[in-house]
Amino acid sequence: MSTLSILMSAFVLSIVGLGFFIWSQRARLTDSGPEASEIIFAKGEIGHPEKAIDRTTPQAVSPRPDEAELLARVRADASSAQVVFFFYCCAFVWLLVASAAGLTASIKLHSPDWLTSEAWLSFGRIRTLHLNAVAYGWAPMAGLGTALFIIPRLLKTELAGARYALLGGALWNAALVAGLGSLAYGVSDGMEWLEIPWQIDILFVAGGALVGLPLILTLLRRTVAHLYVSVWYMGCALFWFPILFFVANFPGLHHGVEAATMNWWFGHNVLGLFYTPLALASIYYFLPKLIGRPIQSYNLSLLGFWGLAFFYGQVGGHHLIGGPVPGWLVTLSIVQSMMMILPVAAFTVNQHLTLKGHLSALRGSPTLQFICLGGLMYTASSVQGSFEALRSMNAVTHFTHYTVAHAHLGLYGFVSMVFFGAIYFVVPRITGREWPWPKLVTVHFWLAATGIAIYFVSLTIGGWLQGTAMLDPSRGFMESVHATLPYLRGRSVGGALMVLGHVIFAVHFIGLLAGASGRAVQPSPALNAATGDI
Amino acid sequence: MHSETRLVLGGLTTLAVATAALVVLPYLTVRDTPPAPGLKPYTASALRGRTQYIQHGCMYCHSQQPRARDFAPDAKRGWGRATVAGDYAYDDPPLLGTMRTGPDLMNIGVRQPGEQWHLGHLFQPRAYVPGSIMPAYPFLFELRDKAEPGETVVTLPPGFVPEGKTVVARPEALDLVSYLKSLDRSYPAIDPTTTN
């Protein structure tokens, strides 16, 4: 078959497939009408952002929100509080570990003789520690913690089987400690994103399954007829990830260049089918909650979800453009990478329409700032990623720091920003304490935003210069190295700001736990009723 | 059917399609590509060196996949012809790499056949390539007053070894260099599965 016919058939197949899926899923999942998107609000609550303090009376409004519904929500929060708190504590630890490792790796790239005496501190290992601490520590702990918080609220029931998630989380973190230890020691499976030895992966599988179990148990006890869009994302992510992880790490299964295609099937899908849906689910929940109005178009969110599910899984081959793999595979991935623009546009339009007229809410709420910036960066990094898959652009940017900048725009600018916002929203509700120093939230936001901006702009320019130098055979290879140096330093500056932001974030969390606030959440009738029988 | 059942079935279907394309089909078609004629199996020392290459993360800065002439000038840089599936028949896992912070290494054994160059370059890259940002790997070597018989002494350009000391390569360094020297895909490639 010629490349053109493969290209055309892949295109037609994906469009027809997406259309069929949306048609077949539509009947139940949208339950047409605006009520579906209003399910996250109690009666009478629309128009009022959810406040942590004194949650029964949002600004003494009339009509007052339905007390019984608010009480049910408080019960839902109480049922998940312990396990969410555990996941968040782990997330904080891994965030700090990953930050330290990342900054060290960044500095080493422009100061190669710094800290060379120990093998575990060498670039190849500390960089891998950074990636794995983010990929299996910070991102899943924050994402799963948020999912465990949101799911009982959305299903209007209490979290069932929280102790399984707690045990699963403990196993998962034990596995990560063992995994990072073995990488530092020099035992690695040798594939990017899949470095942790498969023997340790068994623990991750067991832990992950135990974390997923409460989702199923809670779904069985749901008291709502309709599944809100966030449940689709989180539910599917929790099914997708174990399959990806299990297939990818199965020992002895993969070999030769097939292992390379599998590697990027996993590497890209762990971003697209795990972190991305968890973060998007958070946006679909927190954004409406924080501005007090339902999302604009529920049908657009349907398109966004099934588009992501259908196209994202097949984009991984664009990491192998120009590589020794079958040509049709690369072409398929390029087509599907471009198709990703569709669900991204659906999400973006939806977010814009929802926020329209409510921008003033951004001023008073740093949480909302994190979530909105994260949403914007989802659009930016996705569109950028689609274009990076085009051969003409890939010829320049592949193998350069440009790709690293892109990866951080996605996993930091989008996913981490959203999780920061989620944590700021959730922690007061599960601990019963308000963040003690609100100014620090603003400081964290600006450090993170400025840091990633410097990081991204530096590496994007540096990577592009590196790529164009490498494509010019009249310039020696070392020119492509020299070209990046100032930008690698710039990246370290941006990274340092991000790390500083994380330290402040963690100090603030400790301050909250230590009871520094002096303005603990006032006990409300609902809270008393709920905590009375935990 | 409950909506969650439809949801999960739908999600599993989309993932199955992706897995079929990116994992199952390659599994059926290219996984067991026979070694390219001319490709030699690794020696025991080179295989141990390959483990060193992995554990020190060399693949995070060096690719092992020169691209085709109509795509990038890799061949003009002396990195070799575009590779084909049969070139990786003995590679478990393949180390294609995603970055070229340093040059492609698929044919480094052809470009730099000398053991001493590799050893010295690992001890201190900047002794050979001014402005290099490759990490130094001093922990793969030992500084001695005098080498024992049978040990490999590394001769570096003047100024890179402390006065009165001798640099001796540890076995890990010798294995790693043995692997690097074995990287040679300069034989001709015939493989219908790739587009050259």
pLDDT tens per residue, range A153-178: 999 999 999 999 999 999 999 999 99
| Cα–Cα distance, A310 to A11 (Å, whole number) | 12
Question: Torsion-angle region of residue A228: left (phi > 0), alpha (psi -120 to 50) or beta?
Answer: beta
- Judged by a CB distance cut-off of 8 A, whether residue A485 touches chain B is yes
C-beta atoms of A190 and B67 within 8 A: no
Residues of B in contact with A480 (CB under 8 A): 100
Instruction: Using CB atoms, pick whichever of A108, A257, A395 lies closest to residue B85.
Output: A257
Are A306 and A25 spatial neighbours (Cβ–Cβ below 8 Å)? yes
The verdict on residue B38 lying in a domain is no
Domains: count for chain B: 2
Same domain, yes or no: B70 and B164: yes
Residue A187 structure tokens: 């035992």
Instruction: Using CB atoms, pick whichever of B18, B72, B85 lies closest to residue A313.
Output: B18
The verdict on residue B187 lying in a domain is no
Q: What percent of chain B has pLDDT over 70?
A: 95
Same domain, yes or no: B147 and B57: yes
- Judged by a CB distance cut-off of 8 A, whether residue A251 touches chain B is no
Model confidence pLDDT, tens digit, residues B104-145: 999 999 999 999 999 999 999 999 999 999 999 999 999 999
Q: Where are the beta strands (DSSP E) in B24-181?
A: 141-144, 153-154, 166-169
Same domain, yes or no: B155 and B65: yes
Instruction: Using CB atoms, pick whichever of A269, A404, A473 lies closest to residue B77.
Output: A473
The verdict on residue B195 lying in a domain is no
**CATH number where B68 lies:** 1.10.760.10
pLDDT at position A55 is: 45
Same domain, yes or no: B95 and B167: yes
Same domain, yes or no: B129 and B164: yes
Helix H, strand E, coil C: the string for A379-412 is HHHHHHHHHHCCHHHHHHHCECHHHHHHHHHHHH
- Judged by a CB distance cut-off of 8 A, whether residue A323 touches chain B is yes
Global pTM value: 0.93
Residues of A in contact with B8 (CB under 8 A): 235-236, 239
Same domain, yes or no: B57 and B14: no
Look up the domain containing B23 and give its range. 1-32
Same domain, yes or no: B17 and B79: no
Element of type H or E holding A100: helix A67-110
The radius of gyration of chain A's CA atoms, rounded to the nearest angstrom, is 23
Chain B nearest-CA residue for A107? B133
Residue of A399, A459, A464, A480 for testing the chain B interface, max B β-carbons within 10 Å = A399
Helix H, strand E, coil C: the string for A264-292 is HHHHHHHHHHHHHHHHHHHHHHHHHHHHC
| Cα–Cα distance, A198 to A182 (Å, whole number) | 11
Residue A252 structure tokens: 């002895």
The tally of CA atoms less than 13 A away on the side-chain side of residue B122 is: 30
| Cα–Cα distance, A379 to A382 (Å, whole number) | 5
The verdict on residue B189 lying in a domain is no
Name the amino acid, one letter, at A197: P
Instruction: Using CB atoms, pick whichever of B1, B26, B71 lies closest to residue A395.
Output: B71
The verdict on residue B193 lying in a domain is no
CA end-to-end distance (rounded Å), chain B = 50
The verdict on residue B149 lying in a domain is yes
Same domain, yes or no: B153 and B68: yes
Are A466 and A430 spatial neighbours (Cβ–Cβ below 8 Å)? no
The verdict on residue B192 lying in a domain is no
The verdict on residue B61 lying in a domain is yes
pLDDT digits (tens), chain A, 534 positions: 566 676 677 777 777 777 777 776 665 555 555 677 888 888 888 888 887 644 444 444 555 678 888 999 999 999 999 999 999 999 999 999 999 999 999 999 999 999 999 999 999 999 999 999 999 999 999 999 999 999 999 999 999 999 999 999 999 999 999 999 999 999 999 999 999 999 999 999 999 999 999 988 998 899 888 889 999 999 999 989 999 999 999 999 999 999 999 999 999 999 999 999 999 999 999 999 999 999 988 888 888 999 999 899 999 999 999 999 999 999 999 999 999 999 999 999 999 999 998 888 888 888 899 999 999 999 999 999 999 999 999 999 999 999 999 999 999 999 999 999 999 999 999 999 999 999 999 999 999 999 999 999 999 999 999 999 999 999 999 999 999 999 999 999 999 999 999 999 999 999 999 987 655 554 444 444 444 333
Same domain, yes or no: B26 and B57: no
Same domain, yes or no: B151 and B73: yes
Residue of B22, B121, B134, B196 for testing the chain A interface, max A β-carbons within 10 Å = B22
Closest CA to A258 of A320, A198, A318: A320
Same domain, yes or no: B80 and B164: yes
Same domain, yes or no: B91 and B22: no
Q: What ipTM goes with this model? A: 0.94
DSSP state letter for B66: P
